[in-house]
A and B are shown apart, each in its own frame.
Chain A
Amino acid sequence: MMSNSEIDKKVKMTIDSVDSMEEVRVSPFLKDRILHQLHTKEELSSPVFSWFTPQLQLVALCMVIVLNVYAYTILTSQEYETKVEEFVDTYDFEDETYTSIFN
Chain B
Amino acid sequence: MQWFLNNRLTEEALIEQLKLKNTAVFSNLIDTYQQKVFGTCLSFVPNKEDAEDLVQEVFLEVFNSISKFKGKSALSTWIYRITTNKCLEFIRKQKTKKRTGFLKPLFSQDFSIDKTNYFTEFNHPGFLLETKELNKNLFKAINKLPESQTLIFTLHKIDGKSYQEIAEITDRSVSSVESVMFRAKKNLQKLLYNYYKNEF
Contact A11-B196, Cβ < 8 Å, known A17-B134, A37-B60, A38-B60: yes
On chain A, the residues within 8 Å of B125 by CB distance are: 24
On chain B, the residues within 8 Å of A37 by CB distance are: 56, 60
A15: CB under 8 A from chain B? yes
CA distance A15 to B140 in the complex (A): 12
On chain B, the residues within 8 Å of A27 by CB distance are: 52
B78: CB under 8 A from chain A? no
CA distance A82 to B193 in the complex (A): 86
Contacting B at CB under 8 A, from A19-67, are 20-27, 30-31, 33-35, 37-38, 41
The answer to whether A34 and B189 have CB atoms under 8 Å apart is: no
CA distance A8 to B44 in the complex (A): 25
B157: CB under 8 A from chain A? yes
Chain A nearest CB, measured from B97 CB (Å): 24
The answer to whether A24 and B193 have CB atoms under 8 Å apart is: no
Partner of B60, one of A17, A26, A41: A41
The answer to whether A20 and B128 have CB atoms under 8 Å apart is: yes
Contacting A at CB under 8 A, from B1-52, are 23, 26-27, 30-31, 34-35, 38-39, 42, 48, 52
CA distance A33 to B39 in the complex (A): 18
The answer to whether A18 and B63 have CB atoms under 8 Å apart is: no
- Chain A residue with Cβ nearest B130: A20
Chain B nearest CB, measured from A27 CB (Å): 6
- Chain A residue with Cβ nearest B41: A26
A101: CB under 8 A from chain B? no
Q: Which bucket holds chain B's interface residue count?
A: 35 or more
B146: CB under 8 A from chain A? no
On chain A, the residues within 8 Å of B75 by CB distance are: none
The answer to whether A20 and B60 have CB atoms under 8 Å apart is: no
CA distance A34 to B29 in the complex (A): 12
- Chain A residue with Cβ nearest B38: A26
CA distance A24 to B49 in the complex (A): 12
On chain A, the residues within 8 Å of B35 by CB distance are: 25-26
CA distance A15 to B135 in the complex (A): 8
On chain B, the residues within 8 Å of A14 by CB distance are: 134, 137-138, 141, 192
CA distance A26 to B49 in the complex (A): 10
The answer to whether B59 and A34 have CB atoms under 8 Å apart is: yes
**A to B CB contacts below 8 Å, 17 in the list:** A1-B200, A2-B197, A8-B193, A11-B196, A14-B134, A18-B138, A20-B131, A23-B126, A24-B38, A26-B35, A26-B52, A30-B52, A30-B56, A31-B31, A37-B60, A38-B26, A41-B60
Listed in ascending order, the chain B residues whose CB lies under 8 Å from chain A are: 23, 26-27, 30-31, 34-35, 38-39, 42, 48, 52, 55-56, 59-60, 63, 124-128, 131, 134-135, 137-138, 141, 157-158, 185, 188-189, 192-193, 196-197, 200
Which 7 pairs, one residue from A and one from B, show the smallest C-beta to C-beta distance? A26-B38, A17-B134, A11-B192, A24-B126, A17-B131, A2-B200, A21-B126
